Amino acid sequence: MKGRISNRLELILKDEGARSQLRKRLILGQDGEIRVNGRVFQLRLENARAVRKGAHPRMIA
Amino acid sequence: MNFAFPALLALLLLLPGIILRYTYARGAWGWASPTSLRRISDELAYGIIFSLALHTVWLELMTALGFVPDMRTPLALLAGNFGPGNALLAPSLQTISDHYPGVAGYFLSLYAASAVLGNVAHRGVRKLRLDHRTKTFRFDNYWYYMLTGEVLRFRENAAGEEPDGVYLSAVVSHSGVSYLYRGIVTDFTFDTDGALDTVVLSDAHRRNLSDDRPVSEEPAPSYEEDPRYYIVRGDFLILRYAEMQTLNLDYFWLGEAGDDPASVPGDD
C-alpha cells in the first residue's frame, strides 16, 4: 500500500459505479467482484477490531 | 560564573542525543511514516545515553583528524568548580575564546550528524521493515499501524499482507443521538503530542445507531434498499477522534485476475 490507500482502491473510488459496488459490499460485509473500466477486482474482507472506551464492538451490516 | 551556565552547557552536551531521538522518532517522510513522540522525561533519559555515545564517537573522530580535545575545560565549566581560588577559570575561558570556531564547529557538526543519523535510522528501520519484525524497533504509534493496516504485517500477526484499504465504522453522538459513521480511511492526523486527532473518510455514510438490524433479520439485498443508511455528501468526512466512542476497522484486499488466488496482495 502506498500512502493511505492503494492504487487499486484509488481507481475504484474515482469511479461512481465501482464506488457504489464497493460500498454495498463493505456495508454487507461480503466478498465479491468490483468492476471498473473493464477490470475486475476481487474484494476480500477480513475483520480486525479496535475498541475504545470499553464500548462493545458492533459489526452490523 | 553565572549559576545557569552549567545548565546551559549540559543542554548543549545533551542536545545531540535529543536530536537523534527526535529525528528518529519523527522520520523523514512526515505523514507517510509512523511518528512517535514520548514524554520529555523519557526523551531526556534516552538523550543522556545517546549523547554519551555520540560524544565518545565524535571525540575519537576529532582526535583521529588531528584535533586534540581539551576535556578539562568542559568538565570544569560543567561542574562549576575551578579549583582553589578559581585557578582554572581564567585558563578555561582563555581556551574557549582561543578555540571558539573549533568548539562551535564541534557542536554544530555533531548536531547535524545526529539529525542525519536519526533520519537514516528511521528510513532504515522502515525500509527493512524491522518495526514489523520486532517490537524493539516498533515506533510508539499504535494508530498509524492500525489505520494503515501495517499491524497485519507484524510478526505476531503471522506477517500477513498489507490491505488495500481500511473500512472504518465509528459511533459518534450528536445532541444525545448516536450515529454509526462508516467510510474508507484516506488520511488521518495527529496532534502536537503525537496522539490521533482526526480521521479522514471518503465515501462516508451513516445511520442512526438505534436502527440496528435484529440478528434474526436477513440483511437487505443491497444498501440502496436499506433505508437506514444516509450518504454523507462531500469528498471527505473528517471525524474527530475525541468524539468517537467506539471504533471498528475492517481491512480489505482487492485482487485482480491474474493475481495469485492464494494471496490477494496490495500494491506495494
A-B interface: how many C-beta pairs under 8 angstroms?
A: 132
ipTM: 0.76
CA distances from A40 to A18, A21, A32, A37 (A): 10, 12, 10, 8
Chain-chain contact of B251 with A4 (C-beta, under 8 angstroms)? no
Chain-chain contact of A7 with B202 (C-beta, under 8 angstroms)? no
What integer pLDDT is reported at residue B238 of this predicted model?
Answer: 94
HEC string of B193-262 equals CCCEEEEEEEEEEEEEHHHCCCCCCCCCCCHHHCCCCEECCCCEEEEEHHHEEEEEEEEEEEEECCCCCC
Chain-chain contact of B247 with A50 (C-beta, under 8 angstroms)? yes
Residues of A contacting chain B (CB within 8 angstroms):
1-9, 12-13, 19, 22-24, 26-29, 34, 39-53, 55-61
| Closest CA relative to residue B169, chosen from B177, B178, B187, B181 | B181
Question: Which residues of A are less than 8 Å from B213 in CB distance?
Answer: 60-61
Q: Does the CA dihedral B89-B90-B93-B96 come out positive or negative?
A: negative
Closest residue of chain B to A47, computed from CA coordinates? B250
What integer pLDDT is reported at residue B184 of this predicted model?
Answer: 94
- Which uninterrupted H or E stretch holds B168? strand B165-174
CA distances from B152 to B38, B156, B184, B251 (A): 24, 9, 17, 9
Chain-chain contact of A28 with B268 (C-beta, under 8 angstroms)? no
Distance between CA atoms of residues B212 and A60, nearest Å: 7
- What phi-psi label fits residue B27: left (phi over 0), alpha (psi between -120 and 50 degrees) or beta? left
Question: Which residues of B are less than 8 Å from A42 in CB distance?
Answer: 254-257, 259, 264
Question: Which residues of B are less than 8 Å from A41 in CB distance?
Answer: 254-256
Q: Which of A19, A26, A51 sits opposite B247 (nearest CB)?
A: A51
Q: Residue B116: phi, psi to the nearest 5?
A: -65, -45
Q: Which residues in chain B come in under a pLDDT of 70?
A: 1-3, 28-38, 159, 213-226, 258-268
Question: Which residues of A are less than 8 Å from B251 in CB distance?
Answer: 45-48
Do the Cβ atoms of A35 and B188 come closer than 8 Å?
no
Question: Which residues of B are less than 8 Å from A5 in CB distance?
Answer: 164-165, 184-186
Q: What is the CA radius of gyration of chain A?
A: 14
Query: What size, in residues, is chain B?
Result: 268
| A44 burial type by CB count under 10 A (0-12 exposed, 13-18 middle, 19+ buried) | middle
What integer pLDDT is reported at residue B172 of this predicted model?
Answer: 93
Looking up cell 475504545 gives A52
Closest residue of chain A to B199, computed from CA coordinates? A4
Question: Which residues of A are less than 8 Å from B205 in CB distance?
Answer: 23, 27
